[in-house]
């Protein structure tokens, strides 16, 4: 069991084989599909950054263009991160409130893309399924 703090609210989380089944049941899509989608987006961003470095762009220009690149995929990224987060909370506590109710909670009212919990959740889920067909 892992605890993750999201905007001042601590949640018990669990990622295991049951998480994959919950994900499919709750969201109608496979967790591996979303892991692959997220990985593809981030690898594409890395390629953009590498190309810009090769072109001699400044670090500030690289960061600005990288951020602009990600904006195009922000809906997909946030959908996946929110689903990852909810499913690991739900796996730890199957009686947890609905996904929609949780998203309307104060702790989810403002999402800062630099928040530690986003990377923490993503790594936790990815680490669980790494080696099971996920790069």
Least confident of 36-40, 58-62, 68-72: 68-72
- How many domains does the structure of the chain reveal? 1
Identify whether 23 is part of a domain.
yes
Identify whether 77 is part of a domain.
yes
Burial 49-84 (b: 16+ CB within 10 A, else e): beebeeeeeeeeebeebeeebbeebeeebeebbbbb
Identify whether 64 is part of a domain.
yes
Identify whether 134 is part of a domain.
no
Identify whether 75 is part of a domain.
yes
**Structural domain containing residue 62:** 2-129
Segment 27-58, tens digit of pLDDT: 999 999 999 999 999 899 999 999 999 999 99
Identify whether 135 is part of a domain.
no
Identify whether 55 is part of a domain.
yes
């Amino acid at each position: 069991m892992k605890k993750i703090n999201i905007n001042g609210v601590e949640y018990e989380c669990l990622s295991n084989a049951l998480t994959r089944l919950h994900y499919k049941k709750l969201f109608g899509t496979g967790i591996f599909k979303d892991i692959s989608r997220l990985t593809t987006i981030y690898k594409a961003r890395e390629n953009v950054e590498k190309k810009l470095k090769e072109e001699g762009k400044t670090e500030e220009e690289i960061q600005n263009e990288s951020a602009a690149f990600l904006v195009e995929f922000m809906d997909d990224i946030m959908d996946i991160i929110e689903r990852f987060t909810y499913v690991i909370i739900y796996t730890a506590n199957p009686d947890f409130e609905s996904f929609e109710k949780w998203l309307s909670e104060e702790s989810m009212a403002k999402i800062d893309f630099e928040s530690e919990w986003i990377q923490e959740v993503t790594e936790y889920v990815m680490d669980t399924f790494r080696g099971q067909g996920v790069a």
